[in-house]
Homo-oligomer: A and B are copies of this chain.
Amino acid sequence: MTPQPPADNNDHLVQSEDPEHPANLIPSLCAKFWTLGWVTGTGGGASIRDDDLVYIAPSGVQKELMKPQDIYVLSLAAQAKSLDKRSRVYLRSPPYYKPSQCTPLFLAAFTKRHAGCCIHTHSHWAVLVTLILEQQAPGGKNFEFRINNIEQIKGFGKGFEKSGNLGYHDTLVIPVIENTAHEEDLTEFLEEAMDKYPDTYAVLVRRHGLYVWGDNVHKAKTQCESLDYLFQLAVEMKQLGIPWISDIEPTLPRRKD
């Protein structure tokens, strides 16, 4: 399935002294994500796009131990010219690993949303939120996670090609797609959700986890943190019997200077 890398393997693409280089950033981010419980047991992953080049964590690696030489690199332009959309031509492949099954999902964020970074977590809180939604509507599908009137909602952008962030009273909506037996088969569902929810920066996968992206690494990472915070809060609210959506009249400032 995986085409062989070129003879020279372009190892220079993952060699840099700059800690901000994608091949260095992905391992340091993933080590941090491991401590947060997002990428337990080789689950989850991350990918960064730098112009035409896409850097991807491999499959099956212990995320807190990943090294720059474990990173795959591919070209979006070369990929777009490929006749077989399911094949990948990697500019650079690591010697020991297989490509991530998340690859087509990361590519969807890069091509359909011009994202600069996409993160996939298996966070407990994300999974529990989808289980609670399912419990509230047995047999249902096409769930949405909705929450409002929580300050951390401001951590999200208003949407694709829109400037500014959501406000405190806005309702954050994250669609939930069905999980499939094979991760790469999620791609169509992810793309559908992107079409149906043009302003979302994230998609929950039922009983699986989260995909979240942003214009750059900073935005993807901080949006992922804010979402995980909200999912945890939502589970705790559920345990305390507090609804996720509330009707709170805006409080106006009293200052009149």
Interface residues of A (CB under 8 A from B): 37, 40-43, 62, 85-86, 122, 124, 127-128, 131-132, 134-135, 149-152, 155, 167-169, 178-182, 185, 187-189, 205, 207-209, 218, 221-226, 228-229, 232-233, 235-242, 248, 250-255, 257
Contacts and interface: CB of A to CB of B under 8 A. Distances in A.
Contact of A255 (B135, B187, B253): B187
A152 B179 CA distance: 12
Copies in the complex: 4
Contacts of A232: 124
A232 B123 CA distance: 11
Contact of A40 (B43, B225, B236): B225
A42 B155 contact: yes
B221 A62 contact: yes
A227 to B, nearest CB: 8
Contacts of A240: 128, 131-132, 135, 235, 238-239
A127 B180 contact: no
A43, A149, A167, A228, most chain B CB atoms within 10 A: A43
Contact of A168 (B37, B152, B181, B187): B181
Given A131-B240, A255-B185, A40 B233 contact: no
Contacts of A179: 149, 151, 168, 251
Contacts of A128: 233, 236-237, 240
Contacts of A225: 40-41
Contacts of A150: 127, 207-208
A109 to B, nearest CB: 17
